[in-house]
Amino acid sequence: MKAKSKKPDEDCYRGLLINLYFCNVINKVGILITSILIFSACELTDKRKDDVDSSIINVPASASGTSNEAIPVIVFETSNHDFGRISQGEKVTYTYRFMNTGKSDLIIAKVEGSCGCTVMKGWPKHPIKPEGKGKIDVIFDSAGRRGKQNKSISIIANTNPSTTVLKLEGEIVAPDKN
């Protein structure tokens, strides 16, 4: 009785299939480990020290729009500032001053500009008592801009409505090319 001989190609194909199977398993494990690392890293970078602790935020307005208790009211001395005409490349600083005229603590959760040229240098991170005052410092950088500019600053707080919008405007004059 003769031993059945295998074709050399059969061994080659069998080896190739085994290699493909193990490569596929290793790739799936690699993807799983990478995914776990990415998602765990996202959780760590999401917590910033400037964030307001959400346990102290209370938005007392109900879904029907009626108030079930006194809410804070943010009133600005001026909500629109015109910085006039400036030369391209200049930086303009302005301070928006406000008062909490409501009956409960005002908490500003976030302040953001409409573009990267408008930077907020500071705002109160602590609760502001009724009749308490505060300020928001804004810097506008005119580099690379020209003509009439209208920028907005959004303040998100525990007020009704929850967003207050401030305006910053002016004209940027490009330098002469002489």
Same domain for 134 and 99? yes
Average confidence score pLDDT of the chain: 79
In tens, the pLDDT along 121-144 reads: 889 999 999 999 999 999 999 998
Same domain for 97 and 159? yes
Same domain for 149 and 90? yes
Same domain for 25 and 75? no
Residue 36 forms part of a structural domain: yes
The structure tokens listed for 128 are 């502001």
**CA separation for the pair 164, 108 (Å, rounded):** 10
Residue 61 forms part of a structural domain: no
**CA separation for the pair 125, 95 (Å, rounded):** 16
DSSP 51: S
Asked whether 91 and 175 are in contact (CB, 8 A), the reply is no
Q: Total structural domains in the chain?
A: 2
Give the domain extent around 144.
Answer: 71-173
Q: Considering just the CA atoms, what is the radius of gyration of the chain in Å?
A: 30
Residue 60 forms part of a structural domain: no
In tens, the pLDDT along 29-61 reads: 667 676 666 666 554 444 455 555 555 555 555
Compute CA distances 7 → 1, 4, 11, 19, 109, whole Å: 18, 10, 7, 19, 73
Of 89 and 69, the one with more pLDDT: 89
Sign of CA dihedral 84, 88, 93, 99: positive
Residue 52 forms part of a structural domain: no
Residue 68 banded pLDDT, cuts 50, 70, 90: very low
